[in-house]
């Protein structure tokens, strides 16, 4: 039980980062490798404002906004020009990793390479769930992450803006021809992706403190979660994150305390070997069958 809940708490963080990856990906077909660094930006900026004496809650909001802003700038500076040159090139692999380097070392330059404190708001309170004990922070993390996943999925499916994202991913030229402002939508997607990472950052901040190298750890974990969930739907990435969190905690408990260093990779290798489209691709044939059963027999289209 403790393993399950602690796993969910850390998995929720991975899931938020993975959703950040997925949101940017589902509109632009680009994996923003600076996503982990956006989490770090959220943590660092929030911690910095808190240190200046600002109310910690406002500092946290500013941290999230900063991550969103940096996400939008990443798109405009490092992704947009690459796609404008050749929509199918993979050169963004390099340019987004360049952004990651700039952010990480830039943060180390500005705030120093060592860990600084982060306002602890909720870590002090414990919550008992059955035999397990969680901090209030962890409970809030799980709640916020699940709410964010559900909220985003509803938004994506039910609103015009969300559907526009899918249309742009499928064929940007056509979407532009239909009057969609692809640049605006893509920038918004990157900003939202940044906000998700920033949110993950301020949720994990009280545990990890603020450190310029946070981005590496959580970026890779989020990426692994994305692989587990598959890139097709952002909400699936959250499921991948939760699963990864639980598996990692279980491995620490059952194998040895360092197991969560390498265990996720074993999971990912197995995933890529068996189900390269992600775990939830298993559900696709099932869903198709349901759809066929629902459609009236002989229907075309």
Partner 1 sequence: MTAASRVPAAWRPAAFVAALAGYGVFAYWAAHSTLYIQGLVLVAAVFGMLAVSLDLVAGMTGLYSLGHAGLFALGAYATTILYNDHHWNLFLILPTCLLGVGAVGLVLGAISLRVSGLYFAITTFVFTLVVTVFASDSTFTGGYGGLIGPIFPEFPSSLSWAGQSVIWACLIALLITTLVVLAIRSSPLYPVLLAIRDAEPFAAAAGASTAAVRIGVFGLSAAIAGGAGWMFAFQGIVSPSQFSWQVSVNILVMVILGGINTTIGPILGAVFITVFPAQVNINPFWQEVLFGALFVGVIVIFPSGFVGLVRLIGRQIGRSLGLAGPAAPRVEEEQPGIVDAAAVSAVARAEERSAASGSNGSGPETPAIDCRDISFRYGSGPLVLNGVDFTVRRATIHGLIGPNGSGKSTLVDLISGRLRPVGGSIEIEGVAVDREGVTKRVGHGVARTFQSAVLVNELSARQNVQVGLYSRVPRLAARSLAWPALPSARRDGRRLRQTVDDSLAFVGAREWGRVRLADAPHGIAQLTQLAAACAWGPRTLILDEPLAGLAPSEVEHAASILAKLKSTGVSIVLIEHQPRFVFALCDEVTVLAAGEVVASGPAAAVREDEHVREVYLGQ
Residues forming contacts to partner 1 in the complex (CB under 8 A) are 29, 31, 77-78, 81-82, 85-86, 89-95, 97-106, 108-109, 113, 220, 227, 258, 261-262, 265, 268-269, 272-273, 276-277, 288, 292, 299-301
If the CB atoms of residues 163 and 292 are measured against partner 1, the closer one turns out to be 292
CB of 51 to partner 1, least distance (A): 20
Tell me if 99 sits within 8 A of 78, measured CB to CB. yes
If the CB atoms of residues 134 and 236 are measured against partner 1, the closer one turns out to be 236
Alpha helices by DSSP H, listed for 32-91, are 35-51, 56-74, 80-85
If the CB atoms of residues 50 and 103 are measured against partner 1, the closer one turns out to be 103
Pair of tokens at residue 11: 């998995």
Pair of tokens at residue 63: 């941290």
If the CB atoms of residues 199 and 280 are measured against partner 1, the closer one turns out to be 280
Tell me if 59 sits within 8 A of 46, measured CB to CB. yes
If the CB atoms of residues 89 and 125 are measured against partner 1, the closer one turns out to be 89
User: What are the angstrom distances between the C-alpha of 199 and each of 3, 7, 238?
Assistant: 23, 18, 14
CB of 262 to partner 1, least distance (A): 5
- For 38, counting Cβ atoms within 10 Å of its Cβ (0-12 exposed, 13-18 middle, 19+ buried), the class is buried
CB of 242 to partner 1, least distance (A): 20
Please report the DSSP string for 131-193 in residue order. TEEEEHHHHHHHHHHHHHHHHHHHHHHHSHHHHHHHHHHH-HHHHHHTT--HHHHHHHHHHHH
| Residue 208: φ, ψ to 5° | -95, -15
If the CB atoms of residues 68 and 224 are measured against partner 1, the closer one turns out to be 224
**Length of the chain as a residue count:** 301
């Amino acid at each position: 039980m403790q393993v399950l809940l602690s796993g969910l708490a850390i998995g929720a963080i991975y899931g938020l980062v993975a959703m950040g990856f997925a949101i940017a990906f589902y509109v632009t077909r680009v994996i923003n490798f600076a996503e982990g660094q956006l989490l770090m930006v959220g943590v660092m900026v929030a911690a910095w404002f808190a240190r200046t004496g600002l109310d910690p809650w406002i500092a946290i909001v500013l941290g999230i906004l900063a991550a969103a802003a940096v996400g939008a700038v990443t798109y405009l500076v490092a992704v947009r020009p690459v796609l404008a040159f050749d929509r199918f090139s993979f050169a963004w692999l390099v340019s987004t990793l360049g952004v990651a380097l700039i952010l990480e070392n830039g943060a180390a330059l500005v705030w120093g390479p060592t860990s600084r404190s982060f306002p602890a708001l909720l870590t002090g309170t414990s919550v008992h769930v059955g035999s397990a004990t969680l901090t209030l922070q962890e409970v809030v993390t799980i709640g916020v992450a699940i709410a964010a996943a559900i909220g985003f999925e509803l938004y994506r499916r039910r609103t015009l803006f969300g559907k526009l994202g899918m249309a742009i991913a499928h064929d940007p030229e056509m979407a532009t021809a239909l009057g969609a402002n692809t640049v605006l939508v893509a920038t918004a997607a990157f900003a939202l992706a940044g906000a998700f990472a920033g949110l993950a950052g301020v949720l994990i901040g009280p545990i990890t403190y603020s450190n310029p190298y946070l981005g590496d750890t959580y970026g890779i974990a989020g990426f692994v979660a994305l692989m587990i969930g598959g890139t097709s739907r952002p909400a699936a990435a959250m499921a991948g994150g939760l699963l990864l969190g639980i598996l990692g905690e279980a491995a620490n408990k059952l194998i040895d305390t360092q197991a969560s260093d390498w265990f996720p990779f074993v999971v990912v290798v197995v995933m890529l070997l068996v189900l390269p489209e992600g775990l939830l691709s298993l559900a696709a044939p099932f869903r198709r069958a349901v759809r066929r059963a629902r459609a009236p027999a002989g229907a075309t289209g």
